[in-house]
Structures are given as structure tokens and as C-alpha cells.
Amino acid sequence: MAESIVPISPSSSDDRLRTFYAARRVAVTGGAGFIGSHLTSALAELGAEVSVIDDLSNSSVSRIVGLIDRYPGRVSLVEGSILEPAALSEAFERCGTVFHQAAMVSVPRSMEEPERTMFVNTLGTTRVAQAARASGATRLVYAASSSAYGDSEELPKREDMPERPLSPYAVSKLAGEHVVRAWATGFGLDGVSLRYFNIFGEGQPADSPYSAVIARFAALLQAGEAVTVFGDGEQSRDFTHVTNAVRANLLAGAAPDRLNGQVVNIGCGQATTISRLVRRLADRLGVDRPQVEHAPDRAGDVRHSHADIAAAKNLLGYEPVLTFEQGLDQMLQGGIDPIDRGVIGKIG
């Protein structure tokens, strides 16, 4: 299916977004991180004034400094945690829309640090929702996760399927969805949860054992080092380029109708196995014989993950801008040393 996706052309939809965001003040939590910085860049490019809150614990200082320099007067930073109400209130001042991207990310890290993951992600999202209300924001767009589905067997995953979270990370992100819905229905804070399916792209950190698989494998293969495949390598993911996640956020922020805490999948609608991913990356990087080591299944790992994206299309008009293959090419053309480059690929 993904091969037939038509890239979104600079169309009336982009004009609508430009009109909507021009001179609009919005907030991005985690705006110095991987997805958040791409989103901040795209919003500033559309003319918005973007207030970022980030504690810089999992992000690159040079990246946010680069954005502030590139968009003078349009990007600002409050250095602070989403657990700090005063920092949130400063960041959200006069912001109509809050894009909540900040989180402790990573399934394996959550297995090592379950309480901290719950604390930061679940209480953090609660504090973000409270601060958004208090500041008079009218919409909260939340970065949810496909991990919520866990090992539910049916594929592709639809939002009406029961959730079966398998890790503290998945539980914490799912709890955030409930916060968004409860604050929408109970307090009238318009909100939506975007269930991201394995987002990858330029600038994704590759240097930690907790790094997402594409960034990690690309960096290792390029360095001529071995990659470790957990389990048989036949587990699959709906790898989604960050341009698609940014697009979904822009559409959600600008959606004209009320959002009542709905949950929608943001993916490509195409699944790729980890073994195939190794082959694709090796092909593109010109590595003849990739060194592959095998390790036991990773605790908390989901077997298959593949999105049905009809609901996002219906609610937001979302369609993937880039297929998995196109996204991979774009990431590799940007070069793989994402940490030091500190460069945000141009979005949208």
C-alpha cells in the first residue's frame, strides 16, 4: 500500500496551514528533542511564534540554539521540566495550542526505570494538561504511542481494538491518552492523541543502547560495526518518517472542529521486519555483508505493529507525506551523524 502513497504536493492544504499558523503563538513541550525540534522548525517556517519547554535531558542544545538563530523572534526556550508547573506556565503564556512531545522515550529504558517512566510521562502529561487549562490554551495535541496496542493479534491495528500495553512505557503513554480525553470531556480542553508508529528520521539520536532501531542500525552499519537483532528478526514495525508525524501535528493543531480526546494512529500503513530493515539499510549504505549478531527477545517487545490510518484521515485529513522507503532515503541523504550535525531536516 505504501508504495502507492502520493506525496502531498504544496497544495491548498499548505496554504491553509500557513494562514492558520501565521503569527499564532503555540507551545511545544520537548521542542529540543527529535520529533519536537522538527515540529518546532515546521511551525516557525509557517510563521508561528513557538514557545519551547525542554529540560535538555534528552535533547541537543545546539539543535534548539540553531532553531532560535534561524527564526529570530519566532522560537524561544524555557529550560525546565514538564514536572515544574511554574516553567510550564511561563512557556504556555498566551499560547492557544500546546503540542506535547516531551517524554521519557524507549521501551527498554522503561523496563529499567519503570517508576521514573510512569512519573515523568503520566504525571508530566497531567501537569501539561493542567497548565494548558490554566493558561487559557484551547487545544492540546498529545504524542501518544503505538505501544498501547501491545500484542493484540489482529493487524493492522485500529483504534477501537483493546489496548494491551506490555511495558511501563506503553502504560505511561496510554495513561496520557486518558488524561487528554478526561481533560477534554471534563474540563473542556480540546484535545487529541496521535498514536505514533515508530518515528524515525534525521536527527534521531543513535548513540545509546536505548536509541530507536533505525538510527542505531544505520550508525553501526556505516561505522562497519555489527548490529544486534533481538529475537528472530521477523518482528515488524510500521516505520514512519518524522515528516509524517509533523504533518499530523500541524493538521491536528489546525483542525476546525472540536476535538474531544479522540485517539488516531499516525503511521504509513506498511510493515517492515527488522531483518528486512537490516538488508535495506545495508543496500543503501553499500555494505556488502552486514555483520548481524542475534540476542534473545527483548523484554516488553511487541511482535507486530502495523497501523490502520483511516481514522486519522477521516478526522484530520492525514496522509503520509513519505513512504518508509522515501523516508529512509531522505534520512540517509541527510547523513547519519545525527547528534553532532544538530541539523533539522527541512519539513513540509
**Binding segment for ligand UD1 among 21-29, 75-83, 190-198, 258-266 (CB under 6 A)?**
190-198
Cα distance between residue 64 and residue 346, in whole Å: 15
**Binding segment for ligand UD1 among 45-53, 68-76, 99-107, 114-122 (CB under 6 A)?**
99-107
Cα distance between residue 36 and residue 42, in whole Å: 10
Q: Count of residues binding ligand UD1 (CB under 6 A)?
A: 23
Residue number with CB closer to ligand UD1 (95 or 219): 219
Residue number with CB closer to ligand UD1 (79 or 301): 301
For the bound state, the minimum distance from the C-beta of residue 69 to ligand UD1, rounded and expressed in Å, comes to 29
Residue number with CB closer to ligand UD1 (158 or 298): 298
Cα distance between residue 267 and residue 153, in whole Å: 18
Residue number with CB closer to ligand UD1 (234 or 283): 234
For the bound state, the minimum distance from the C-beta of residue 170 to ligand UD1, rounded and expressed in Å, comes to 6
Nearest 5°: CA angle at 278, between 220 and 290? 60
Residue number with CB closer to ligand UD1 (51 or 265): 265
Ranges within 298-337 binding ligand UD1 (CB under 6 A): 298, 301-302, 305
Nearest 5°: CA angle at 162, between 157 and 167? 85
Residue number with CB closer to ligand UD1 (123 or 292): 292
Query: Residues near 138 by Cβ (< 8 Å), separated by ≥ 6?
Result: 96, 97, 189, 190
For the bound state, the minimum distance from the C-beta of residue 216 to ligand UD1, rounded and expressed in Å, comes to 5
CB atoms within 10 A of CB 256: 6
- Residue 190's DSSP bridge partners are 139
The angle that helices 34-45 and 61-70 make with each other, rounded to 10 degrees, is 0
Alpha helices in the chain (DSSP H): 12-21, 34-45, 61-70, 85-92, 107-112, 114-118, 124-135, 168-187, 213-222, 242-254, 274-285, 310-316, 324-333, 338-341
For the bound state, the minimum distance from the C-beta of residue 235 to ligand UD1, rounded and expressed in Å, comes to 4
Q: In this chain, which of 228, 273, 275, 330 binds ligand UD1, going by CB under 6 A?
A: 228
**Binding segment for ligand UD1 among 23-31, 185-193, 230-238, 327-335 (CB under 6 A)?**
230-238
Q: Are 267 and 307 in contact (CB under 8 A)?
A: yes
Ranges within 192-211 binding ligand UD1 (CB under 6 A): 196-199
DSSP code at position 256? S
Q: In this chain, which of 101, 147, 262, 270 binds ligand UD1, going by CB under 6 A?
A: 147
Widest distance between CA atoms in the chain: 57
Cα distance between residue 145 and residue 169, in whole Å: 9
Return the residue nearest ligand UD1 (CB atom).
Answer: 147
What is the residue type of 196?
Y
Residue number with CB closer to ligand UD1 (88 or 105): 105
Q: In this chain, which of 213, 252, 266, 271 binds ligand UD1, going by CB under 6 A?
A: 213
**Binding segment for ligand UD1 among 128-136, 140-148, 282-290, 310-318 (CB under 6 A)?**
140-148
Residue ranges binding ligand UD1 (CB under 6 A): 105-107, 145-147, 196-199, 212-213, 216, 228-230, 235, 237, 274, 298, 301-302, 305
